[in-house]
Amino acid sequence: MTGAIDTSLGDNMNESILRPRRSNLAVPGSSVKMIDKARGLSVDQIFLDLEDAVAPIAKPEARKNIVAELNRGGFEDKVRTVRINDWTSPWTYIDVTEIVAGAGANLDCLMLPKVQSGAQVEALDMLLTQVEQAAGLPVGRIGIEAQIENAAGLIALDAIAKASPRVETLIFGPADFMASINMKTLAVGEQPPGYDVGDAYHHILMSILIAARANGKQAIDGPHLGIKDVDSYRKVAARSAALGFDGKWVLHPAQIEAANEIYSPRQDDFEHAENILDAYAWYTSAEGGGRGAVMLGDEMIDEASRKMALVISAKGRAAGLVRENLWRAPNA
Ligand code: GLV
Ligand code: MG
């Protein structure tokens, strides 16, 4: 054992990537009952919705509910996000001013749906800054989560990710996305009928993931509307988790356990990753011979192995995994 693991994350990864977001619970801002129930659920993030889960006539009351419930507290163990309406709607300004002025101290992020350009993120950043200043809040603490829900958003991914240091996540919005590109399906989650080669969403998911990683952001998979079919949820979640996504939306308590499990590393992978970090640190030290590529059991490890292990170690630690066995240096 070589002591503390070097957890510096290197290339383009920062601390916000460690904030767990395995399960992201959508809760309509119009339902105080559902908001209250969310307090007791073991999700990493909740987002209180002002957009598509709330009818236009119910939005004014939903804003008031959200302010009151955020201020009432009880969500401090979760990332607290509010999804506002997009810039093509008449409501973005009023959403931001009312929610941030009313409950900014009890809010971690705003989620901006249907983002189409970096300029839309910059506009939200500027508005947020003004409202934070006017409300006497620290400037820049509230993050932005950007939903990618149409072809324009996909093309502008890199600009969206770079538009503001407030951006924490890029989120796939499959329902709006499929509608916007005229995909012929009504099922959100599974493959479109007639598509029998590979995964129809692979390009979109991979593009979001690459833009997120190139800019040190998290990549989040969106909803699965068949809320009773947890097996199907698991299958779809496992695909984006395998690519490297950090989490997925949950719409129903039955999906929560699946998300928390699927987006956490398995215990044995976590132990293995931490062993790689310890072994590599020791072998590359003067004491361990200053070597760059070494054998760990039957496996050759090098600097690239260290980077892969750091990702699994960081995700495991963020998910609360605890190591059971320590690696020991030869003759230690
Ligand atoms: C989520 O907002 C979606 O459109 O899938
Ligand atoms: Mg949507």
Give strand pairing partners of 148: 172
Identity of residue 142: I
More confident residue, 71 or 189: 71
What lies within 8 Å, CB to CB, of 9 at 6+ separation is 17, 310, 314
Handedness of CA 167, 169, 170, 175 (dihedral sign): negative
Token couple for 319: 């998910």
| pLDDT score at 50 | 98
More confident residue, 105 or 3: 105
Of all protein residues, whose CA lies closest to atom 2 belonging to ligand 1? 173
What pLDDT, in 10s, does the model give residues 274-295?
999 999 999 999 999 998 888 8
Phi, psi for 187 (deg, rounded to 5): -95, 125
Ligand 1 pocket mutation pick from 149, 178, 185, 250 by most atoms within 8 angstroms of CB: 149
Token couple for 143: 């993050």
Give the Å distance between the CA of 279 and the centre of ligand 2: 45
Indicate if the pLDDT at residue 220 is higher than 50: yes
Nearest to 218 by CA among 287, 181, 171, 272: 171
Token couple for 250: 């949950």
Contact between 153 and 160 under an 8 Å Cβ cutoff? The reply is yes
Q: Which ligand is nearest to the CA of 47?
A: 1
Give strand pairing partners of 170: 146, 219
Give the atom of ligand 1 at the shortest distance from the alpha carbon of 177.
4
